[in-house]
A and B are shown apart, each in its own frame.
Chain A
Amino acid sequence: MSRRWMRWLLLLYPRAWRDRYGREVLSLTEEMIRAGDASPLRAALDLIAVALLERARVLVARLRSACAWSGRTPNGPAWVAPAWLVIRNLVFTVVVPGLGGVWLPWRLLTSHGRLPSPVSWEALAVIAAGAAVYVWCVWNFAAVGQGTPGPWDAPSRVVAAGPYRWVRNPIYIAALAVVTGEAWLFGSLRLLAYAGLMAVFFHLFVTGYEERTLSRRFGRSYLAYRRAVPRWIPHV
């Protein structure tokens, strides 16, 4: 009675897994249902949960190998490696700050119709300062660590140069300056709320993921850097 739905659930598994373990896991499921060790519902939920886990595992492995591919130094004449580094950083800049700092704010501002007219031109200075700090950071990541700001293609060593001498997360501060500046420029409370959400997300991401990953990856050199330089607010 149960054979058909179990076969369907098996299709959720990655191909290689299914080919190797599919038949065995089906016969065990049947045996457990028959012996009353598991209800069909529980068995089905278990099969689904593990299928999602296996899929996620395959996805992570693929992403890893894609990152390793993008971060490797290509063969060729001497200018190829720096050119590839520039391309990676340009792609990152267009995709991540482009989406979060330009495209999304633009959508928020124009959701009620046309772009509102600017109200405070002095905000342009804040936006320009944020953008300048961002460029400075990217320059240091690329020049010192041969990487990009993306966690998937990060510098190969701890970068403590440029703005990183005063504060550990200048790119996030620059991003907040740009978005807050945009909110000020257009007098938009929605954009200000968006900047607030961004700040909360940055803090959680930095404390929950980045700092752990960095101390695992770089060990002592990162811990020394972390002791010497504050996370958000520079020493005056």
Chain B
Amino acid sequence: MTRDSIRGSSDRGILILTSLAGSPKHGYALVKDIEDFAGVTLGAGTLYGALATLEKAGLVEGLPEEDRRRPYQITPSGREHLRERLSEAARIAGIGLRRMGIAPVQPAPAAVIPAAGAPS
């Protein structure tokens, strides 16, 4: 995934939802996880701006604070939204790759995806 493909506020939302799809995370864990799988480091303001939008839309929710940090988790409607957006993106990616004569990328085996969780 290139830097350009994840610009724009709705794509930030997708990055956050993707990260939370694995497990609930607090702010710093989210930043680190997104950095790992997408290669961008979101700023603190950017992250919370997008989180606030997602929370208002009912796609994520804040959990009670643990150790002075508040974890966020994806809601059922957040999962549904993510599923729709990702399938649509995958469909278009498939068409584009086929038209360029490139075989669609097979999904990576689950073991390769780094375990989501606390920051290192």
Q: A residues touching B (Cβ–Cβ < 8 Å)?
A: 17, 20-21, 24-25, 27-29, 31-32, 35, 37-38, 42-43, 45-51, 53-54
Contacts and interface: CB of A to CB of B under 8 A. Distances in A.
A50 B44 CA distance: 9
B49 A53 contact: yes
Contact of B28 (A28, A48, A49): A28
A21 B45 CA distance: 10
Interface of B: 27-28, 31, 35, 41, 43-49, 51-52, 68-70
24 contacts: A17-B52, A21-B48, A25-B27, A25-B44, A25-B47, A25-B48, A27-B68, A28-B44, A29-B45, A31-B27, A31-B28, A35-B28, A37-B31, A42-B43, A43-B43, A45-B43, A46-B45, A46-B46, A47-B44, A48-B45, A50-B45, A51-B45, A54-B49, A54-B52
A24 B70 contact: yes
Q: Of A32, A38, A45, which is in contact with the most chain B CB atoms at under 10 Å from its CB?
A: A32
A46 B69 contact: no
Contact of A25 (B41, B45, B68, B69): B45
- Interface of A: prevailing SS: helix
Contacts of B46: 46, 49-50
B70 to A, nearest CB: 6
A46 B52 contact: no
Given A37-B31, A37-B41, A46-B43, A24 B49 contact: no
A160 B35 CA distance: 53
B49 A43 contact: no
